[in-house]
A and B are shown apart, each in its own frame.
Chain A
Amino acid sequence: MDFEMGVEVEALRRELRDLVAHHVPSDYLGAFTDDPADLEMAQGFCRLLADRGLLCPAWPGEWGGRDASPWEQAAVREEMWAHHEPRGAQYMGVNWVGPTIMRHGTREQQGLHLPPIARGEVIWCQGFSEPNAGSDLASLQTMARRDGDGWRVSGQKIWTSYATMAQWCFLLARTSREERKQQGLTIFLLPMAAAGIDVRPIATMIGPHHLNEVFFDGVWVTDADVLGAVGDGWRVVQEVLSFERVGIARYARCERLLIWAPAALGAEWDDLPEDLHGRWARMVMHARRARLLAYRVVDLQSRGQVRPGDAAAYRIAVTRLDQESAQVLMDIIGFAALGEGEGLRFRRAVEDHWRYSISATVASGSIEMQRILLARALMAAS
């Protein structure tokens, strides 16, 4: 056995940390704050990564990547999420929009969309969820009706991250009503600048500029904007979800904050209640546990295998870690002054982590769906 990632991955990790240290402000907490400088920083950082082939390392060299191994991809996910995702909204284009276009797009679509994603110059949003179609996505009602040699899209999407700043939308809409609700769905690559689109931000406790409603009122798209075959959208969406098999490396941020805590508190660390030291140690163990569960999925991926139950188990463990570690860290900062310098940066990072952790079991698909998947896999194996 060997739990070391190897010299190549460690070199990549050092390169990423070096870039973060030199280009990401030490008080950076994500691209989507009230300060526009954070978004600007993220966009600049993406270009920096792109110049080094690090923005989409998993992509083939032909499209601006470097054919990175699943372990190198894991290291990129870990380092970016641990440092509050300095790629901003780019992960969506890089992780699954690009790969899906590579697989199902026409040469024209590939030529139009892939180079800007690889250069970090474009932001995508995902038009999936609707007010009455969340976990039950196939129940969506947004319609695209034939109109001459194109389509007219009407309907409403919700919980659409980055819609206020996105140039393109990866939209799933109904193009016909069939016997099964999974049939008659089609993917459109829709320009957000098109007439008839109204984006309304949703105020949330998580933070600004994240979630939006998007209304489509007879938005015109052409056949050239259809990805794959008309009516074949559900199959494409299943593939999209498979690109997100491991999901966000939430454990990396949890571990960074937990390990940072003693240094941030300095002498005050020793004055914490004994019970809190114990809860901290337990969370450190749970962060490792979640990381090792993620590595099981990556290990399978590296051998071309998929076990949906393992991916679901990881998602359940890591979201629980996200929320429980946030609670422990909030309790820790409650006992310390942390009014300036490193202490203040730590306090703000913990508060940000806590706010985001609330959504961990909902974002990217509810945890109940993961439990259903895992139960299904378990019983099928019986």
Chain B
Amino acid sequence: MNIELSDEAEEYGRQARRALGSAGGDRLAQQAEADPHARGALVDPVFEALGAWELDPRAGSEELEAGAALCRSAGWWALAYPVAERLCRPRDLDVDGLVVIGPGPPAAPVGGLRMAWAAVSLDGWRAVCAASPLRGPVRKSGYVVGLEVGSFERGGQGDVALGLVLPCWTLLGMLDRAMSLTRAHIAAREQFGQPLAAFQGVQFQLTDAEVERLGFEALATHALWSIEAGRADAVDDALALRLAAIEAADTVFRVCHQLHGAIGFCDETTLSWVSRASVPLRRLPLNLAGTGAALTRRLGRRGLSGLFGPNDEPSPTLPALRPERR
């Protein structure tokens, strides 16, 4: 058993976090919001220096784990840039990145970038697509735009798990940050003559959130290994991860906002920025209910692999999820 990212991947993630911090850190998200069309230019030099777009997560475990660590670091700074989606770029298509789309209208947080995208449905139908222009303030849209999708072709089965898992690593970085900010806040903020952290009611809320974050992290690592190992049930594992990720994010941000009090909603606190940045990742391609339904459909009577599963049952007949051309 070896259940942690490689030392090299962890170190790469640390370097990325430092580099993004030196390039502006929390200010990067604020600058992107002020000028959404410049959001790529803000971080391009950093990613160039990190060799980020030379990483090919499909090439093997080293690059996959480095990619995951990079996503986590981007999440830490609530970076307004689709790092995971760009890392998922299929090498056989002339596109800049890939997004997974659900059964609803295709959409992704890729607005304001002059890039070509591929979209893949949960059952592996893939199409080249173009992002619609940004509409309205990005503080509301979170850079989410509709996708104009071309003809779907088979061939994206190998993209689905990767396209689900790497954005979860970005979300994990956001949860890391939210917890770190909250620990610092409750240690410093005093009420009734003592730090908030001294109150057991506060401590217990914090532990609820931390258990969720740790469980999410454990599943994120497992789902990454499932891709690395080329396991047939990598999509099951990715959906299980996504369900845990959204549940964890819901709990962590609820607790972190509660413990920050009103100041946590204000843009002068970093939590407000991280919390807002997490929303598109939690809603797309499937929200909590949609992810649960998709996982349930896939598991059928089999369950997940583990000590006693999966059951030796045929895969359930899935309802057609192939999106229509829009």
Contacts and interface: CB of A to CB of B under 8 A. Distances in A.
Interface stretch (A208-216, A286-294, A342-350): A286-294
B313 A281 contact: no
Contact of B183 (A278, A309, A317, A382): A382
Contacts of B240: 284-285, 288
A247 B187 CA distance: 31
A295 B276 CA distance: 33
Interface in B272-326: 292-293, 295-296, 299, 301-304, 306-311, 313
For B295, B296, B299, the residue with the greatest tally of chain A CB atoms inside 10 Å of its CB is B296
A278 B296 contact: yes
A256 B219 contact: no
B296 A285 contact: no
A259 interface: yes
A299 interface: yes
A317 B208 CA distance: 9
Interface string A244-269: 00000000100110111011000001
A277 interface: yes
B219 A288 contact: yes
A296 B61 CA distance: 20
B1 A288 contact: no
A290 B292 CA distance: 18
A345 to B, nearest CB: 15
A277 B296 CA distance: 7
Nearest to A269: B301
Contacts of A292: 3, 215, 218-219, 221-222
A295 B309 contact: no
A252 B306 CA distance: 9
B197 A258 contact: no
B191 interface: no
Given A252-B307, A284-B304, A285-B244, A379 B187 contact: yes
Interface stretch (A3-11, A96-104, A190-198): A3-11
Given A255-B307, A281-B292, A292-B222, A375 B1 contact: no
Contacts of B22: none
Contacts, number: 148
Given A256-B307, A262-B311, A281-B299, A382 B187 contact: yes
B38 interface: no
Main secondary structure of the interface of A (DSSP, over half): helix
B225 interface: yes
A77 to B, nearest CB: 11
Interface stretch (B124-132, B146-154, B199-207): B199-207
A285 B308 contact: no
Contact of A289 (B65, B180, B206, B218): B218
B4 interface: yes
B306 A291 contact: yes
Nearest to A312: B207
A4 B1 contact: yes
A312 B211 CA distance: 9
Contacts of A52: none
Nearest to A270: B301
Interface residues of B, number: 50
B33 interface: no
A296 B2 CA distance: 10
Interface string B176-193: 000010011001000000
A255 B183 contact: no
Contacts of B184: 382
B307 A1 contact: no
Contacts of A289: 215, 218-219, 244
Contacts of B211: 313, 316-317, 374
A278 B1 contact: no
A149 interface: no
Interface of A: 1-6, 71, 78, 82, 252, 255-256, 258-260, 262-263, 269, 277-278, 280-282, 284-293, 295-296, 298-299, 302, 309-310, 312-313, 316-317, 368, 371-372, 374-375, 378-379, 381-382
15 contacts: A1-B224, A6-B1, A255-B307, A256-B308, A263-B311, A284-B303, A290-B215, A292-B3, A292-B218, A293-B218, A295-B1, A296-B3, A310-B214, A312-B207, A379-B197
Given A2-B229, A263-B301, A375-B197, 13 more contacts: A258-B303, A262-B301, A278-B296, A284-B304, A284-B309, A285-B244, A288-B222, A288-B306, A289-B218, A302-B1, A317-B214, A371-B204, A382-B184
Interface of B: 1-6, 61, 65, 180, 183-184, 187, 197, 200, 203-204, 206-207, 210-211, 214-215, 218-219, 221-222, 224-226, 228-229, 240, 243-244, 292-293, 295-296, 299, 301-304, 306-311, 313
